[in-house]
Amino acid sequence: MSLGAGEIDAVIRELAPLAGARVDAVRVHAERALTLELYGRSGPALLLLSAEPDVTRLHVVRARPPQPPSPFPFQAVLRREIEGARLVAIESLPGDRVVSLALETSRGAVRLVAELTGRHGNLFLLGDDGIIRASAGRNLSQRRKLVAGEPYEAPAPQPARPERPRFTAEPGAPFPLSAAIEAHYSAFEQERIVAEGRRRLREPVRAGVARASRALVKLAEEAARVPAAEADRRVADLLKSNLRAVRRGAREVTVTEWTEEGPREVQVALDPALTPQANMERYYRRYRRIVESAARMEARTAEVRGREAALRALLGEIDAAPLEELPRLEREARRLGAGPRPQPATRPGSAAERARAREEAVPYRAFRSATGAAILVGRGAAENDRLTLRVARGNDLWLHARGITGAHVVVRLEKGRGPDQDTLLDAAHLALHFSDARGAPQADVAYTRAKYVRKPKGAAPGAVTYSQEKVLLLRTEPQRVERLLAEEEGTEG
């Protein structure tokens, strides 16, 4: 889509009347694109030089491109060096689409060289001695040393290629060919903005669909455990009928079960540390927990399936959406937990952007318990502090693997409410998984309300003290961890 050598030569001929114009202002709009505000015999003109990939070009524009959120360093150099200068001439240099603007300043002659060579284009400011003073972007050439302080070396001349005319000059425009080129690239830029907007939405929504699909598989696996719970109830009933036959400290007991086919001997595993009554209650408790969670699993499955269907429908809308519809679709994606990352408000790669990204990045990973409660897991030591001290509310549940380095975990709770059993177990499993005890068959997890967690003065990132805690001896359930990880949610918005 870049201008060819013949098209550039035609534009340079059209721009001949700009010779002698004064450079009133310089604006750098992208890393390798700028405009010069010129004023000469024929009045004002806005000259665009773009060495951006795939849209390298040179022409007069009527509409100034939008400014970036923060200025590029090349802009400060050009404003200092060439604002107020006189444009002596615009000419093409030997080589592949290389243009030179000769400028006369109060301190001497300089040149602004534009290599309009497609993906490897760049802009350079040269002194009268041909030494590079600054460049718009980093050196992309592997054969030439194009850095400040080195002599500028033009690219090797390329053989002429036949070109078919693409632009029809607009009659009546001050610069007819430039007007046609501007109209062409305006439409192209609009298409590119729409395509980029769709891509930015499409990727996280696709990831959301994949997460929902994985979560449905894990929920189905947990639902398949329900029939096994009947075996726990049956064993509990057998123990209840034979409690007198159970000796304390035994690891197993053989009892008689009466079936339609007649009596049969059944061996029941016991915990020797528990009383016969406590062993029976353990089986009943396990049965009740699975059965009670089954209904919640069914509701959670319906919720995830609905979100998956909504995300798939949203993907179809995104693929056909015009530019004006994209903000609405982004809001819907965020509502469904699959919003894109916020766009930076500063120039990509700058120190200001990196600092702001660290400050504004969501400090936690987001999960949902089997009953739908939000569970937030800190991403690192500093993020643990932000999650616990700035994100968590006083009534929220706070968890941490006891005596072990690991993530802070916060469960969102309404005021005056406590967590249900499944939510507590899910959150505890996440606290254990995101700690140095990951993979351990069992470990202690401490939990308390977030309002009882304090940060000692001068403590290291992530180091806190807490009170009024309870401790849960957690026996790891790998299936539970797999289901939680499969359903990790987007945290933007």
pLDDT tier, 292 (very low <50, low <70, confident <90, very high otherwise)? confident
Taking domain 5-155, whether its CATH number is 3.90.600.10 is answered by no
Model confidence pLDDT, tens digit, residues 360-391: 568 999 999 988 889 999 999 999 999 999 99
pLDDT of 392 reads 95
Predicted local distance difference test score (pLDDT) of residue 376 = 96
pLDDT band at 350 (very low <50, low <70, confident <90, very high): low
pLDDT at 222: 75
Count Cβ atoms below 10 Å from residue 393 Cβ, excluding itself: 13
Instruction: Tell me what pLDDT residue 361 has.
Output: 67
What is the overall mean pLDDT for the chain? 89
**pLDDT score at 339:** 84
Does 346 score more than 50 pLDDT?
A: no
- b/e sequence 370-382, b meaning 16+ C-beta within 10 Å: bbebbbbbbbeee
Instruction: Indicate whether 479 pLDDT > 90.
Output: no
- Band the pLDDT of 450: cuts 50, 70, 90: very high
Q: Is the pLDDT of residue 52 over 70?
A: yes
pLDDT at 493: 35
Give the per-residue pLDDT at 362. Answer: 82
Q: Grade residue 309 by pLDDT with cuts at 50, 70 and 90.
A: very high
Per-residue confidence band for 492, with pLDDT thresholds at 50, 70 and 90: very low
Band of residue 127 on the pLDDT scale cut at 50, 70, 90: very high
Place 470 in a pLDDT band, splitting at 50, 70 and 90: very high
Q: Encoding tokens for residue 221?
A: 């696996």
Average pLDDT over residues 92-116: 92
More confident: 464 or 70 = 464
Q: For residue range 400-427, what is the model confidence (pLDDT) as tens digits?
A: 999 999 999 999 998 888 899 999 999 9
Task: Give the start-to-end residue ranges of the domains of the chain.
Answer: 5-155, 203-320, 363-486
**Global model pTM greater than 0.75:** no
Average pLDDT over residues 231-260: 88
Nearest CA among 70, 75, 29, 82 for reference residue 52 = 29
- Sorting pLDDT into bands at 50, 70 and 90, what band is 325? very high
Return the number of other C-beta atoms located less than 10 Å from residue 58's C-beta: 24
311, pLDDT greater than 90 = yes
Confidence of residue 359 (pLDDT cuts 50, 70, 90): very low
> 391: which 2 tokens?
């994100």
Determine the average pLDDT of the residues in 474-487: 89
